[in-house]
Amino acid sequence: MPKIVNHDHQKQKVAEAAWRVILKQGMEQASVRNIADEAGLSVGSLRHYFATQSDLYAYSMNMVSERVAQRIQNIKFSGDVLHDGPLLVHEILPLDQETRLEMEVWFAFVVKSLSDLSLESLRKEVDRHMRVIFTSIVQGLIDQSLAKPDLNADFEAERFYALVDGLAMHAILRPELLPPDKIKALIRHHLYSLCISEVRGPDPS
Amino acid sequence: MPKIVNHDHQKQKVAEAAWRVILKQGMEQASVRNIADEAGLSVGSLRHYFATQSDLYAYSMNMVSERVAQRIQNIKFSGDVLHDGPLLVHEILPLDQETRLEMEVWFAFVVKSLSDLSLESLRKEVDRHMRVIFTSIVQGLIDQSLAKPDLNADFEAERFYALVDGLAMHAILRPELLPPDKIKALIRHHLYSLCISEVRGPDPS
């Protein structure tokens, strides 16, 4: 009888091995051979799951965004944008050890996507999702009559999105300067800064 | 008579070749051999300027920050933070073809610095300079009585810095969505959002 192996499970294990190689040794060392070694497979077995290095990279990059998407799906939304907005944004940010590793892998793939067209479409698809999220938060403030008058929704979504990606990057690069509580306080402060003065958040410190 | 070669000039030429390889083929392809080929040198000649790949990478990464520092030094400051702040910030952002390439190379080195300790100290040194710049802008608003009351200078410097790095990243990744004029308008809008309502900037659109 042939050995029964859960195909998807094996692919995830290989992708996790790819993450570990990238985190420990950098993208330049993430060859099919090194990833197979890390996964405890022969190169031949790995080829059974991923025909090309590009396939393996695309799957490994996608696994990051799938995990973020899964966490966002699990959020219990209240309908109050001042409550839901931060919950959404927190799932995008590296606020614990697990999500810090995910974000570090993500940045490595994002930089790689600049010279590897096979990763570009996934990167742009995730970017589109992010823009929808930030636009929906700002539009939520407007719809719930919380936003400052004349707020430009597209413009503010762009600013909020850039702030969050900048914080994500800084949290990876200088974790000692950006502990999770400080990041959350910055997000809250920014969200309240878009609101009319009657809506005042906690002190920014 | 021995051939006279300007040593620094040659090193810069090699570093520029390293940039081109990184931009075209990615960091994984930036081997000493490929960089020597791109520079039109033998590997032996390249070793004359850079004993190790680490030396070559550190020099090439440093050349990005040196160019930014040089441009900042050339700014004619007026003493008015609402005028000088944006000028400073613009020099950090990828607003034309040349600075876009620099920023793309910079991000590649930043990601590499996460698994290559020889680049980490330079990355942290530049981070410290950036923090000084953003703190000085926010402190300038406070000193010139333009800032909102109770503005937390450190907190706002962190937010401004993250916004600018996020915009820099997005400008590289989605240049079609973030033309230079839009980036400048976002910077201006953010700076004015830190000010008392009497100080109103142009419309954010």
Q: Is A116 on the interface with B (CB under 8 A)?
A: yes
The band of B3, judged by pLDDT with boundaries at 50, 70 and 90, is low
How many angstroms separate the CA atoms of A42 and B82, rounded? 61
Q: What pLDDT score was predicted for residue B82?
A: 96
A92 burial (CB, 10 Å; 0-12 / 13-18 / 19+) is buried
Does the pLDDT of residue A145 top 50, yes or no? yes
How many angstroms separate the CA atoms of A151 and B64, rounded? 37
How many angstroms separate the CA atoms of A31 and A50, rounded? 13
The band of A205, judged by pLDDT with boundaries at 50, 70 and 90, is very low
Does the pLDDT of residue A68 top 60, yes or no? yes
3-state secondary structure of B195: strand
Q: Which two tokens stand for residue A201?
A: 């958040």
| Chain B residues whose beta carbon lies within 8 Å of the beta carbon of residue A111 | 26-27, 107-108, 111
Main-chain dihedrals φ then ψ at residue A74, nearest 5 degrees: -80, -5
| Chain A residues whose beta carbon lies within 8 Å of the beta carbon of residue B135 | none
Q: What is the mean pLDDT of residues A137-149?
A: 96
Closest by CA to A101, choosing from A16, A184, A192, A163, is A16
Q: What pLDDT score was predicted for residue B4?
A: 58
Q: What pLDDT score was predicted for residue B2?
A: 53
Which of A1-10, B2-11, B43-52 is least confident? A1-10
The band of A142, judged by pLDDT with boundaries at 50, 70 and 90, is very high
User: Where do the structural domains in chain B lie, given as residue ranges?
Assistant: 77-193
Mean pLDDT value across chain A: 93
**Residues 138-157 of chain B whose Cβ lies under 8 A from any Cβ of chain A:** 152, 155
Q: What pLDDT score was predicted for residue A6?
A: 78
Main-chain dihedrals φ then ψ at residue B96, nearest 5 degrees: -145, 180
pLDDT digits (tens, 9 = 90+) for B23-80: 999 898 999 999 999 999 999 999 999 999 999 999 999 999 999 999 999 999 999 9
Q: What pLDDT score was predicted for residue A202?
A: 57
For A110-141, letters b (16+ CB in 10 Å) and e give: bbbbbbbeebeebbeebbeebbebbbbbbbbb
Q: What is the mean pLDDT of residues A106-134?
A: 94
Does the pLDDT of residue B11 top 70, yes or no? yes
Residues B173, A110: C-beta atoms closer than 8 Å = yes
Q: What is the mean pLDDT of residues B109-136?
A: 94
Tell me how close the Cα of A4 comes to any Cα of chain B, in angstroms. Answer: 36
Q: What is the mean pLDDT of residues B116-143?
A: 95
The band of B181, judged by pLDDT with boundaries at 50, 70 and 90, is very high
Mean pLDDT value across chain B: 93
Domain A77-193: top CATH class: mainly alpha
**Residues 167-186 of chain B whose Cβ lies under 8 A from any Cβ of chain A:** 167, 169-170, 172-174, 177-178, 182, 185-186
Q: What pLDDT score was predicted for residue B203?
A: 52
Q: What is the mean pLDDT of residues A45-57?
A: 95
Whether B32 contacts B59, CB under 8 Å: no
Give the helix ranges, DSSP H, for chain A. 7-25, 32-39, 43-49, 53-73, 81-92, 97-113, 117-143, 153-173, 180-193
Q: What pLDDT score was predicted for residue B205?
A: 45
Does the pLDDT of residue A197 top 90, yes or no? no
How many angstroms separate the CA atoms of B129 and B63, rounded? 15
Q: Which residues, including other chains, have CB under 8 Å from residue A47's CB and lie 6 or more apart?
A: A32
DSSP symbol at B149: T
User: Residue B154: what residue type?
Assistant: D
CA angle A98, B154, A153 (to 5 degrees): 70
For B104-134, letters b (16+ CB in 10 Å) and e give: bbbbbbbbbbbbbeebeebbeebbeebbebb
